[in-house]
Each structure stands twice: as structure tokens, then as C-alpha cells.
Amino acid sequence: MKTPATPSSGTPHPGAVPLGEAGTTRSEGSRGSAGPGGASGAADSTDPLGPGGHWPLLRAGLRLAHAVVAHGVRDEREEEYESLCALAEAPAFAAFGPQEGCTPLERGRWLAERVVRGVQQARDTAPPVVPGGLSGAAGQALVLWCLHVAVGVPLGELGAAQHGDIEPPLAGRDLVQKIEGRMWLSARPTARAEAGIRTLHHEVQAALRDRFPTREDEADAELARAHFVHEWRRLAHLGQESERHLLILLGVLAPAPLRVTFLAEAWGPLPGPLRDLGTDTYLMALALRRLLDRGVLLVTSRGDTRLVALPPLMQPLPSRCLDAPERRRWNGLALRFLGVALRGDTHDPDSWPEWRDARPHVLHLVSLAEEYGEGLQEAADLMDRLSVFHRMRDDDHDAALAAADRAVRLFERAGVPAPVAYATYLVNQAMAVRAVDGPAAALEPMERALAVEEGRVDGDHAQTLNLYASLLAGAGHVRKAAAAFDDALATARRAHRDTGSDEDAGAVVMVLNDYSVHLLHHSPEQGTTAQDVARDVLALLDEAESLGPPGGYGTEQIMLNRAEALRRLGRHEEARAELERLVAACEEWDEPTLLLFAALVGLAEVLDDLGDPRHAQVLRRAHEVDDLLDT
């Protein structure tokens, strides 16, 4: 009876791959090279198929799968159900497949389908017709196991069923012993069949791992390692270098899922074969599917986001295939890969989900960069961006400060290769220090940043001066703060005059808004001085509004500041209208913000000034927003 076989088209037989990398030895004195897990040695308890190894368990599991198929072929439903329940409890497959939320019959069917598929995959690695001599023993083992498990042929009938698959067929009065020897069912297994038995073992493992997380513990680590090495060697013989590179990349990263979109969007820094996958969506999907089918990749989802990872016990194995220089090189590649994949502006809320997912990888790679003393500049950039992420996204100020300090140290260790970037890292460090230790403590790193930027006249320097002025004000140095705001405004205006760019216009708007807040906060609310300051503020805000389109950068802050200035000038109706427009605009965002809270509080005060009874209702809404912000 001929079993299905896929022509190999010249593809090397995976069963012929030396398995020294798996920490095992082959029969008849074959030698292997060191690889994941160490150098090869004599077969012992670490060999999944050696004495005390996994083969007796797998053999028993395969026989149970045969029973399921054989009873199904003969339409013996009761016996088939009993065999399915027995298969569900097979120790060889305890780590695989569903357990909770399914019946023994359902679990048994899941296992039977995967085991049969694995046996068929193993058969497909051999030629369609296997030679009948002793030299073909490895292929004969695969044929015989496929007939026995996938087709349900009893052991006693394999002698007749082999015709068409093994030519010339095995024959002789010791035929039963020959067949059982090839299949490793006898007390004296045929040594030359070992390669086929190993292929059978690994293909069944691949099928069982297909798209279903295993429940392996440390006792199963050797099985996972042996399976990975088999797949690693198999990819090499198939010439699928891009898929090996993908496994290396995932192994170099932290043991956490990686967004699939990163692979398609940040392929530039990756080595050639893997870069080719990144530029072709179809090839990438095909590679991921193949690795998924072979059980060396896990794919999960979070909403619409697809993530990939290595199975936990396989996570460290790709890196063990590399020597020390290659590990350092791949860490540098992975750092640059994340640097491209992750958006640079972590002030932007749209970037926060991807940074949340990538944070374990960033920390892992940065730690290795510190250990290797390489990739320090890239590591510093990632830590600076991570600091802003923590400060802006989750108010984790201690984590933000730790990341900012680390960014500065890394960059200094790298020799400060780019002063502009160094100044940015110092500014972000100052902002993190302010959140933890207050504005006075933040003055020192901010002044270091200003020293690095000395002589610059651009929008970035204006922003640094602006932040410095805010810190001075917060630390109680009101006059120094006003002078720093004047410097910031002069610098921003000059930069905008020189370039006319929208970015520099935004810098002017930012300084005008912050200076307005400073003036309003540090002046009386009533009297001649208050009115003079309010008029100055309105002039500043008119300038800010003239620099951008309606609804452009800083518009909401301009409206809030203008309403306060109008209120101090006694123009309450104008202030009310301005605040009502601001509240309506903020409510459209459909989420609580500090700006919405401030606008509601301001509107409640203006309504109270006007004697409008709605002020109590607006104040209640402000308290609601405040409560939401606290959560």
C-alpha cells in the first residue's frame, strides 16, 4: 500500500543532519559539532532518544495513535473512543494541546490529528520509494511508522503493506524482526534506522507544537532544545537563512512578544536575508507560517495587534548558536532595529502602545549593550525616549528618572558623540528630576544642558530656555524666571525670523503661552497692576494666535490664558464665551484632561462672577473630571 509522499526536489533529508548540536550522539560513530546547549557527548539521559530518554514514551504514544486510526478504519466506534481517551492521557503528549475546557475525547482527537500529521511529515522527508537494503533503514523506519500510524496497518500486516513504498521490499523468515528493528520496537533496534527515528520524533514534536503553547517545565527543556536544534539544522539544509535570522533576532530580544509590524516597518538595519523578508509582506507571512507550523514560533494577538515570540524554553537557544562577536553584533543590530521600529516622539500618545509592548526588549538590549560596551549611543537614545514615555504616559516618575539617568550615563560613556542629543537627554533628565525631587533640584541638569547649547540660536534652544524659566519660577526665583522667559522669547522670535518654519513658529507660541501663565500667576488678580499685566498678556496671546492656523498648536492654551486675562480686565462675558468654546473643544476628545479640568474650573468662576446659577453644575462636572484623572 503506497503512502502519500511529497517529492523532495533535491532537498536534503533532515534525518541525515548531524545531531551533535543537540547534545546527543548518533549510532555507528557519527560525530557532531557543538551548538545550543554545548558540545556533543556520549548518549546518556540527556539524549531524548537515548537510554531513559523520551523514545519509550513516544513509542507508546504512537501505538495509541495507531489504535485510534485502526479502530476508526474498521468503524469500531466504542473501541475508537476508548483509544482516544487513552491517547488523551499519554505521558508523551502531556505537555501539548488543550486540557482545560475540553473533554478527553476532544483532547484525544486533537492529539491524534497532530500525531498523524507529524508522522506523515516525517514520511515526506524520505524519497517516494525507499531502497530496501540495510542502507535505507532510516527511510524504511519512516515508511513503516507512517503505514502503522497514519494508515492504521497492524504490525502483522506491515510486511505486505510495504510494497510500493520499499523496493525491494523487506523479506525473509525474520521479516517481523526486521520490521520491528527498523521501527525500534524490538529489544535490538537497527542502529542505521536512528536517523529516521530522530526525524520521526522531531516531526511529531513539530506537529504537536503547531500554533498551540505548550505547558513545558524545566523537565522538558531537553526535548525543546533537541527539537529546536533539529529545526535549526533543517533550515540550514533547506537554505532558509532568512528564517534562521528571524529566530536569532527573536532570541536576542527579551523573552516577550514582538509586534509583527516592526518586522515590516524597520527592516533597514537588519542583515540581508532578513531584510528581504521585511520588504515583502507575502514572504514574511510565509516565513512566519512555516515557523509557526514547525512549532518554533508562537503568534498571539492583542486586539488588532499581532505579536510573535519564541516558545519560552527555546528563547535562549538561537543566541547559543552564535559566538561572542556575533552575539555582540546581533545586539547592535537589534538596538538599531528597535530604534527604527519605535516612534521617536514619546510625548505623542499614539506611540505609547508600541512602547509598552517594546519596553522589555529595550531594557534587555540596553543591559547587554552596557555589558558589551558596544551600541551605547543607540542604547542611550532608547533610554531617553523610554524616560519620556514613563513621564508622559503613566506618571511613573521613578522609572522615568532611572531611564533618564541611564541615558545620560550611557551617552557620556560613549564619549558624547552628538552634543545636540546630549543636551536633549539632559533636558529630559531635568524634567524627570523635577517630577521626583522638585524644580530646585532640576536646575543643575538644566543648566548643564544650557552650557552644552551655548551659542545656539534655534527653536530647540528657545525651548530649553523656556523650560529653565519655568523651573526658576517653580523654585521661587521669580525675577530670574522673567529674565529667562525674555531670553527664551527673543531666541524663539529670532529663530523663526531666520527660518520661517512651522516648527520654529510653534516654539514661539509655546514660549508666549508659558510666559503668559507666568505673568498671570505672579501678578495681583485685581487692581491697576493686574489690568496692566492682563493687557500685556493679551498682546502676547494675539501674537501667538497670529503665528498659526485656527486650531493649530497651542490654541487651547491660548484660549485658557486669554479667558483669565479677560476676566481680570472685567470682560466677563467675553471670558465666558471663550471658556465655553474651550470646554466644548476639550469634551470632543472624549477623555479627561488637565486642560478640560482647568477650563471647567475657570468657567465656573466666571459664571459665579456673573451670578449665573449654572456655575454649580459646571463645578460638579469639574470634580467629575478630577476624579477621572485620579483613576
pLDDT tens by residue, 276-286: 888 888 888 89
Q: Residue 532, Cα to own-chain centre: how many angstroms? A: 56
User: Do 364 and 355 contact (CB within 8 A), yes or no?
Assistant: no
pLDDT 10s digits, 307-318 = 999 988 899 999
User: Do 62 and 83 contact (CB within 8 A), yes or no?
Assistant: no
Separation of alpha carbons 223 and 215, rounded Å: 12
The pTM (predicted TM-score) of the whole model is: 0.73
Q: Which residue from 236, 16, 21 is spatially nearest to 126, judged by alpha carbons? A: 16
Residue 194's contacts (CB-CB under 8 Å, 6 or more residues apart) are 26, 27, 49, 138
Residue pointed to by grid coordinates 531513559: 52
Residue pointed to by grid coordinates 501667538: 544
Cell of 99: 486540557
Q: Which long-range contacts (CB under 8 A, 24 or more apart) does 330-333 make?
A: 330/248, 330/249, 330/252, 331/252, 331/365, 331/368, 331/369, 331/372, 331/374, 331/375, 332/369, 332/374, 332/375, 332/378, 333/249, 333/252, 333/269, 333/270, 333/271
∠ CA 302-304-308, nearest 5°, is: 55
Mean pLDDT for the chain overall: 87
* For range 485-496, the mean pLDDT: 96
Separation of alpha carbons 419 and 426, rounded Å: 10
Q: According to the per-residue pLDDT averaged within each range, which of 31-45, 111-125, 209-223 is highest?
A: 111-125
pLDDT 10s digits, 378-436 = 999 999 999 999 998 877 899 999 999 999 999 999 999 999 999 999 999 999 999 99
Residue 50: band (very low, low, confident or very high) from pLDDT cuts 50, 70, 90: low
- Domains in the chain, start-ordered, CATH in brackets? 14-209 (no CATH), 240-310 (1.10.10), 323-454 (1.25.40), 455-570 (1.25.40), 572-631 (no CATH)
List residues bridging with 305 in a β-sheet. 302
Query: What does the pLDDT read at residue 44?
Result: 35
Q: Which residue from 265, 236, 238, 237 is spatially nearest to 248, judged by alpha carbons? A: 236
pLDDT 10s digits, 496-510 = 999 999 999 999 999
Q: Cβ–Cβ contacts within 10 Å for residue 560, how many?
A: 21
Check whether 117 has a pLDDT greater than 80. yes
Residue 27: band (very low, low, confident or very high) from pLDDT cuts 50, 70, 90: very low
Q: Which residue from 128, 94, 132 is spatially nearest to 111, judged by alpha carbons? A: 94
> Which H helix or E strand runs over 489?
helix 478-499
Whether residue 168 is preceded by a cis peptide bond, meaning omega within 30 degrees of 0, is yes
Task: Work out the burial of residue 300: count CB atoms within 10 Å of its CB; fewer than 13 is exposed, 13-18 middle, 19 or more buried.
Answer: exposed
Residue 301: band (very low, low, confident or very high) from pLDDT cuts 50, 70, 90: confident
Check whether 42 has a pLDDT greater than 50. no
Query: What does the pLDDT read at residue 544?
Result: 94
Separation of alpha carbons 373 and 380, rounded Å: 12
Which residue type, as a one-letter code, is found at position 450? L
Residue 65's contacts (CB-CB under 8 Å, 6 or more residues apart) are 87, 111, 112, 115, 116, 119, 149
Query: What does the pLDDT read at residue 187?
Result: 79
Check whether 37 has a pLDDT greater than 50. no
